[in-house]
Structure 1
Amino acid sequence: MAGKLMCAGGGAQERDEIQDRVRLPSMATTASSLPLTKEGAGPENSSSFYDYDYLDDVAFMLCRKDAVLSFGKVFLPVFYSLLFVLGLGGNLLLLVVLLRHVPRRRMTEIYLLNLAISNLLFVVTLPFWAISVAWHWVFGSFLCKMMSTLYTINFYSGIFFISCMSLDKYLEIVHAQPHHRLRTRTASLLLAALVWTVAVAISIPDMVFVQINENPKGVWNCYAEFGGHGAIWKLFLRFQQNLVGFLLPLIAMIFFYSRIGCVLVRLRPPGRGRALRIAAALVVAFFVFWFPYNLTLFLHSLMDLQVFGDCQVSQHLDYALQVTESIAFLHCCFTPVLYAFSSRRFRQYLKTFLATVLGRHLAPGTAQASLSNCSESSRVTTHEEMTGMSDLGKRQAEGSP
């Protein structure tokens, strides 16, 4: 599973491909498009090979992937372990703060809470893939299907909840009405339920096709087995990732935050500069995390369609796929923090939580005073935000035709 390169919605399929490209000892016996159908070599041969059949059906070569395999066995387990520790700690802290210290969760907090849950479920799968890359799949058939499905569901739901939070900020500023019909608690819960439903629907291929396979003898691998339609499924799931998991959310975020920027520039509310910087940072962060990975997936698809490529290009793309996928996984560590700290209200909740924890080590009077100050500061911040939104709404209404 050398890259565990699991494109969202096609997680198991991409694991299969990385195994084909990097780990499994294989040699194709018939000419076909890239990559070719494989027959497992014996366990004594740890190399990976490729046959490339060009359009003239003449060129033929073997492409070894030993170096890619060696790189993945070291880089990926280390990186996944680091992501697991950072993602688990950061999202657990976010979850505790939201559950214990947010008095009445509004639309933003509901999406942030679901994002934290999604990221936690996502990082829980990483130790399984780290062990699988370093060794092989030792967890049996049930966990193979379960971890693949969990991966895909939370890969997509995390991206969708980021889009929902962008929508919420758009409604809050561009349509500055305290009781907008799309910003009610009921509407936000329904939208969150819709996000989970769509993510589960996208994971159906994992539920149906993922299984464990033994190749070579005694070495088990967890990936999707599509039968004779594997090439079509791989291309479909990759393009689905490019479109649904990246391009559409990016377009939505650019639209929402560009409209937000226009309103802030026109009305010049207090704190306009900081709000513009935060909006730009959120879009840039999403692009930096996800664009390299999606570009590499797209180039792999073009290579499999024989638009371009040779052995050296294939090796470079295999390296790039492992690195850019790992960069994309960083979103589960840093995106919730970025969104959480874009809100003064959440920062006050975090201060309250830290005061509660530290209060156990302080004198009773000092701890009580600290908690009282944080609670008062939280109430003042909430009141200021509500007043600011009300004032922004009036100014919006005055400026409307």
Structure 2
Amino acid sequence: MENYMMSGEGEKNSSDVVYLCDEVFDFSTVSSAFFILIFILSVTGNVLLLFVLAIYEDLKNITNLFILNLACSDLVFTVTLPFWAAYYLHHWIFGDFTCKFMTAAYFVGLYSSVILLTAMTVDRFITVVLHNWWSSPVRRRRYAMAACAAAWVISIAASVSDAIKVEVETSWNNLSTCEAPSDGPDIKLGYYLQVSLLFFLPFVIIVFCYSAILKTVLQATNRKRYRTVVVVLCIVAAFFICWGPYNVLLFVMSMYDPRGCNEIERLYIAHSICRILAFFHCCMNPVLYLLSQKLRTHLLQLLHCKCVRIKCKERGTATTVIQNVAFIAQNSAVTLDPHSK
């Protein structure tokens, strides 16, 4: 799943020395518990979001199209979490094919999220800053669909190389691992290119686009029409806040050899915390989508649809009873009136 793993024994190779640290704090149980929690929250939130989009929203809308694909991307990533939770609690027990498949799914979810967020930001940039560039809504929708398709194709193609690298290895104590080799200049060069092209480059593009967007919005007299920009900005910011520390730490760890058990332990704990923060991103998007009043309303309608129908039936029945009682009372009053003919 990643190029750096720490076992309970805290073994770390440097160029000249091998450190064996028996008292390194074991974060495996904590990480596994968080993975299961994230899995539950992500599946619940993203499935509800998909239902809201499918039932209440217009999927021809460009923003809804991107949100739909992002929810699918989060679910693809989420599916892998129970496997990693079991891995960290015990060892890899699912075989070589599952190791490669889960690694591929992990990176497909990650890469597609980055590409989709970048495409969504570029779409906002063209809509707000270069608002005359789109000649027609049909052309814009066509480009958006092509961008979504390209995001999935690129992410699947990029994940294949990661899946091929990983393999299941069994150590002397019959504990299996699902990891990629971390040594070799070719592997490090590939990792640098991967991080640069699929994280830092999209980050630069997004920062540039939103700088221009914010400048345009602040100069506009009517800012209500740019509420979608705020929602998209929050979604993009959440991604880089969650995944930023993790990617930066992995980049540092690829060039840094800790000296001594204290450094190994601190690096291991920081890596575990940053990984949990990164994984939390897949259950953040449904919460951020609730910034939209319309989506909140649709979600409440979805969750309370049965209750609303029952209440409507009860109200209708009560109204009918009241009307019948009033009608009977009125007829009785007319009958009892001595002056009635």
Q: Same fold (TM over 0.5)?
A: yes
Deviation at residue 302 of structure 1 after TM alignment: 1.9
Name the structure 2 match of 1:170: 125
Greater C-alpha radius of gyration: 2
RMSD between superposed Cα atoms in Å: 2.8
CA distance in 2 between counterparts of 1:365 and 1:176 reads: 50
Deviation at residue 113 of structure 1 after TM alignment: 0.6
Deviation at residue 345 of structure 1 after TM alignment: 4.4
Per-residue CA deviation, residues 292-339 of structure 1 (Å, 9 max, x unaligned), is: 1122112112215xxxx412333322211111011011111113432x
Deviation at residue 78 of structure 1 after TM alignment: 0.8
Q: Are 2:42 and 2:282, in contact at CA under 8 Å, matched by a contact in 1?
A: yes
Relative to the length of structure 1, the TM-score reads 0.70
Structure 1 residues 131-150: aligned runs within 5 Å = 131-150=86-105
Name the structure 2 match of 1:319: 269
Q: 1:53 aligns with which of 15, 21, 30?
A: 15
Name the structure 2 match of 1:386: none
Name the structure 1 match of 2:214: 261
Deviation at residue 130 of structure 1 after TM alignment: 0.4
Name the structure 2 match of 1:101: 56
Q: Are 1:94 and 1:116, in contact at CA under 8 Å, matched by a contact in 2?
A: yes
Query: Structure 1 pair 303/124, CA: closer, same or farther in 2 (3 Å)?
Result: same
Query: Structure 1 pair 185/278, CA: closer, same or farther in 2 (3 Å)?
Result: closer
Structure 1 residues 11-160: aligned runs within 5 Å = 11=2, 14=3, 17-18=4-5, 21-23=6-8, 47-53=9-15, 60=17, 62-64=19-21, 66-68=23-25, 70=26, 72-160=27-115
CA distance in 2 between counterparts of 1:145 and 1:187 reads: 32
Name the structure 1 match of 2:284: 334
- Between the two structures, name the one with larger relative contact order (CA 8 Å, sep ≥ 6): 2
Name the structure 2 match of 1:199: 155
Higher deviation after alignment, 266-275 or 248-257: 266-275
Q: Are 2:53 and 2:59, in contact at CA under 8 Å, matched by a contact in 1?
A: no
Per-residue CA deviation, residues 31-78 of structure 1 (Å, 9 max, x unaligned), is: xxxxxxxxxxxxxxxx34335335xxxxx463416424x2x2221111
Amino acid of the structure 2 residue aligned with 1:159: V
Amino acid of the structure 1 residue aligned with 2:30: F
Deviation at residue 365 of structure 1 after TM alignment: 7.6
**3-state SS of 1:136 partner:** coil
Q: 1:252 aligns with which of 170, 192, 205?
A: 205
CA distance in 2 between counterparts of 1:182 and 1:209 reads: 42
**What are the ranges of 5 or more consecutive residues in structure 1 without an aligned counterpart?**
1-5, 24-46, 55-59, 368-401
Amino acid of the structure 1 residue aligned with 2:7: V
Amino acid of the structure 2 residue aligned with 1:301: S
CA distance in 2 between counterparts of 1:255 and 1:366 reads: 55
Name the structure 2 match of 1:353: 302
Q: Are 1:79 and 1:326, in contact at CA under 8 Å, matched by a contact in 2?
A: yes
Deviation at residue 233 of structure 1 after TM alignment: 4.7
1:296 matched to 2:258: no
**3-state SS of 1:362 partner:** helix
Deviation at residue 189 of structure 1 after TM alignment: 1.5
Deviation at residue 245 of structure 1 after TM alignment: 3.2
**What are the ranges of 5 or more consecutive residues in structure 2 without an aligned counterpart?**
317-341
**3-state SS of 1:184 partner:** helix
Q: Are 1:257 and 1:279, in contact at CA under 8 Å, matched by a contact in 2?
A: no
Q: Are 1:241 and 1:294, in contact at CA under 8 Å, matched by a contact in 2?
A: no
Q: Are 2:167 and 2:179, in contact at CA under 8 Å, matched by a contact in 1?
A: yes
CA distance in 2 between counterparts of 1:104 and 1:291 reads: 31
Q: Are 2:42 and 2:78, in contact at CA under 8 Å, matched by a contact in 1?
A: yes
CA distance in 2 between counterparts of 1:61 and 1:104 reads: 56
